[in-house]
Amino acid sequence: MKDEFSFISSITPKQIHQPSLNVGIGDDAAIYSGSTQYDEVVCVDTMVEGVHFTKNTLSPYQIGKKALAVNLSDLAAMGAIPHYFLVSIAISPQWTEEELEAVYKGMNDLANKYQTDLIGGDTVSTKEGLVITVTVIGRVEARRRLLRSNAQIGDTVFLTGYVGGSAAGLALLLEYGRKADFSKEEEKLTLAHQEPQPQIEAGRILAQSNFRLSLNDVSDGVASEANEIAEASQVKLTIDPDKLPYHPFLNNGLVSKKLDFALYGGEDFQLIGTVASEHFEALKKKCSESDILLTSIGEVNEGEGSVYLKRADEQIKLLKKGYNHFSK
């Protein structure tokens, strides 16, 4: 297999059997009708030792916390309120009971923050490593769908928070290990990778705005996520690199890589989206009242599912080149 995205496309069902299903494969989460007031939102993600983490990059506590955080981030991208989660875990003999308890403590501490209940799962053995699959279930106001396909020509492209920090933190962790003597600035970067903060509150503000919005979470990098919006909406997104909200501690030897970190590094778990330009300032003000940074990074133009980086008098096409599990 060469590409996870084309594979997912090939297995996407051509037929829907349940009339209550509103959104299936192809967005951050699935949505199905629950009641007259709320739609149910469900998503699942897996973290694999040696692929997404090692004991040298994340502590057991951070592994658990991050496993839940990446799923909550998908709910945030749908504007949903988290309610429940399930955990399937495959454990190898290399993991002690004490370490596993720390994994679950990490999940539970984050779950408590959002009043999210663990309601089940599965525990099995495996010969090597640790594999954690988390399913989260939430709710969003009925028919309030912040889908990737909602972008329209003339929209403003925006980002919450900062980007590039997680990739920079991972670079430091891979070079020195998590127990290294980092500076305070470097610690901020490593924590951006180890303990990402799902943007639940930002997602709720966006959902309750009643503006037409497209939304996606930045898991695979700004370039990849922007392309997903462009493709789903069949428009062209033009991004200004000088407007990107880079992590404030991306300095010293990491400055030269900040654009690559932001565009292709991934795992910032911020939200990228579009809104009608006349509504952006109102949305920015509402976010600011909750100490959430919302930054305009570009615009939506006429085009066919593409993203371009605007530099001086030229535009450079950005490929969907974020993290891909099956790329070499």
Residues of the binding site: 28, 45, 52, 74, 104, 121-122, 148, 217, 219-220, 267, 323
Q: Which residues are annotated as a binding site for Mg(2+)?
A: 28, 45, 74, 122, 217, 220
The CA distance from 232 to 242, in Å, is: 26
307 close to 223: Cβ distance less than 8 angstroms = yes
CA-based radius of gyration for the chain? 19
pLDDT at 323 over 50: no
Kindly state the helix (H) or strand (E) to which residue 91 belongs, with its residue range. strand 81-91
Question: Which string of DSSP letters, residue by residue, matches 152-180?
Answer: -TTEEEEEES-BSHHHHHHHHHHHH-TTS
- Round to whole Å and give the CA distance between 150 and 135: 25
Q: Residue 272: CA atoms inside 13 Å, Cβ hemisphere, count? A: 34
Q: How many CA atoms lie within 13 A of 40 on its CB side?
A: 10
pTM: predicted TM-score of the whole model, two decimal places: 0.89
Q: Check residue 155 and give its pLDDT.
A: 98
Q: What is the pLDDT of residues 243-255, one digit of tens each?
A: 999 999 987 667 7
Structural domains of the chain, with CATH: 4-141 (3.30.1330.10), 148-317 (3.90.650.10)
Annotated binding-site positions for substrate: 52, 267, 323
Alpha carbons 268 and 222: distance in angstroms, whole number: 9
Read off the pLDDT of residues 136-193 as tens digits, 9 standing for 90 and up: 999 999 888 899 999 999 999 999 999 999 999 999 999 999 999 999 999 999 999 9
Task: Tell me what pLDDT residue 20 has.
Answer: 61
Annotated binding site for ATP: which residue ranges? Answer: 104, 121-122, 148, 219
Q: Which amino acid is at 270?
A: Q
pLDDT in tens, 212-243: 999 999 999 999 999 999 999 999 999 999 99
